[in-house]
Chains A and B, each alone.
Chain A
Amino acid sequence: MIALIALIKVIVLVLVILGTVAYLVLLERKVSAYMQDRIGPNRVGPKGLFQPFADILKLVLKEMIVPENANGFIHALAPVISITVALAALAVIPFGNYIVIGGQKISLMIAHVNIGVLYILAMSSLGVYGITLSGWASNNKYSLLGGLRSSAQMISYELSLGLSIIGVLMIDGTLQLDRIVQSQSAWLWNIVFQPIGFLVFVTAAFAETNRLPFDLPEAEPELVGGYHTEYSGMRWGLFFLSEYTNMIVSSALIVTLYFGGWSLPYVNYAAMMPNLAALLQVVTFLAKTGIVIFVFMWVRWTLPRFRYDQLMNVGWKIMLPLAILNLLGTGAVMLALK
């Protein structure tokens, strides 16, 4: 029974996420268009709303070209790693508290892992394998450079990412994401206590998702297409899919860790019918995540790409010391208040 429920949750979540990703692509195109005084896609269906279906159809029908000297197996495996890892990270995100069906409490997260934060960090670190392997297996200098940059970037930014999270973990005293949400009631969101940690985390999250201003692994003007230069058709589509899924995961994580997840100030969920409360929680969570995703896009269409040396400078000389200082500061304040 438990396995069945989990299976249903997984299927629903994956379908919803894949659908959302398709529409995020449309949203991104619309956002970029509006920021550049354009209108964006508006031909397919009303207001361009069917554009994602056209895009997907095109991707599925296109030929998947494998370069002659590429390592065929790893070339095929790399996008699969990327998307699997990106989707797997969603398993511990709490979309709401719980719903009640037939007198049974069903939690609105797939896996109750008591090390949720560590699990997400692990998954996001694994994601780099997809990118690096794809760059390596393509047997193309641009792809290889892209993969190389990706791994260097991940190593530099994962440190500050992890260190900035520790501040939150110290305050809430748990690694379980739903507990972290529950401990941020009313306006006592973690961003209030951890403004510097928040900035470091968001910056590192941009780097982890390979989004501008940190999209050096892709870097169209320098590296043609970076790690996915040699990919086409649905294999390329999988990379695209995993980039947007990563964006969703990062946004959801930012919301969970710093913006109180599904909690809403001045609303007492306990006083409501459980299912109604769950609905409201999910809507709240999705709305908050949507706003963060919009910020991701907004930043992408505002900032230019970092140079490689600048990226390393920011990562090691600014972000890392800031994260450590934040950690020490948090510890000192907590000790003083004890």
Chain B
Amino acid sequence: MGNNGNENRTKEMNLWEKLYFPEILHGMGITLRAFFRPKFTRQYPEERWVPPPVFRGRPVLVVEDETGVERCVACGLCARVCPSLAIQVQAAETELDKERYPELFEINMLRCIFCGFCEEVCPEEAIIMSKDYELNFSDPKDAIYGKNRLLTPASQLSDRLAFLKQYR
């Protein structure tokens, strides 16, 4: 390794190794040990993996639990930063303190590359990466997530929010 492939690959074998059969038995011993090793296959539909908070799954919009209003102020930074142009935001005015809200917020999950830039750039911590990795669609139209499917209560995202507080 690492010496430009100049290493000498030929190795003199001793008589014991040249007899071949002992080495076959040695190899069979290795496979037999593997036979009894514990298996770590996950039986997927029954056993689902719960990712750790670092995991970047499908991006979602955070909704405050008390007020039921989304944090997003429709500044459009996420749409600007998104390298694959997956996010579309349309702003509108509102009577609330934050004054602006997204009238339309769509993420095309066929375009999203899960880079997490939207989350990073968001000044309000309004768009964050969830733990959802089970994305499948039978129609490209299904892959465009509107507000109805993006809004998620903050209580369900406490893991990721705590993670962001600690590391960002």
Q: Which residues of A contact B (CB under 8 A)?
A: 31, 34-39, 42, 199, 298-299, 301-303
Contacts and interface: CB of A to CB of B under 8 A. Distances in A.
B41 A301 contact: no
Nearest to B23: A303
Given A35-B35, A199-B21, A302 B41 contact: no
Interface in B73-117: none
A37 B37 contact: yes
B37 A302 contact: no
A92 B30 CA distance: 37
A70 to B, nearest CB: 39
Contacts of B41: 38-39
Interface string B1-45: 000000000000000000001001001101110110101110100
A111 to B, nearest CB: 35
25 contacts: A31-B35, A34-B34, A34-B35, A35-B31, A35-B34, A35-B35, A36-B34, A37-B34, A37-B37, A37-B39, A38-B39, A39-B39, A199-B21, A298-B28, A298-B31, A298-B32, A299-B24, A299-B28, A301-B31, A302-B24, A302-B28, A302-B30, A302-B31, A303-B24, A303-B27
B12 to A, nearest CB: 18
Given A36-B34, A302-B27, 16 more contacts: A31-B35, A34-B35, A35-B35, A37-B34, A37-B39, A39-B39, A42-B43, A199-B21, A298-B28, A298-B31, A298-B32, A299-B24, A301-B31, A302-B24, A302-B28, A302-B31
A293 to B, nearest CB: 15
A292 to B, nearest CB: 14
Contacts of A36: 34
B99 to A, nearest CB: 55
Interface string B43-68: 10000000000000000000000000
Contacts of B37: 37
Tell me if A's interface is mostly helix, strand, loop or mixed.
Answer: loop
Contacts of A302: 24, 27-28, 30-31
Contacts of B24: 299, 302-303
Contacts of B35: 31, 34-35
A170 B15 CA distance: 31
Contacts of A199: 21
Contacts of B28: 298-299, 302
A284 to B, nearest CB: 24
A156 B43 CA distance: 47
Contacts of B32: 298
A320 to B, nearest CB: 16
Contacts of A301: 31
Contacts of A39: 39, 41
A296 to B, nearest CB: 12
Nearest to B34: A35
A34 B21 CA distance: 24
Closest 10 interchain pairs by CB?
A: A302-B31, A39-B41, A35-B31, A302-B27, A34-B35, A302-B28, A35-B34, A39-B39, A35-B35, A38-B41
Given A199-B21, A298-B32, A37 B27 contact: no
Which interface residue of B30, B31, B40 has the most chain A CB atoms within 10 A? B31
Contacts of A298: 28, 31-32
A31 B32 CA distance: 10
A199 B21 CA distance: 9
A39 B44 CA distance: 13
Nearest to B37: A37
A290 B34 CA distance: 20
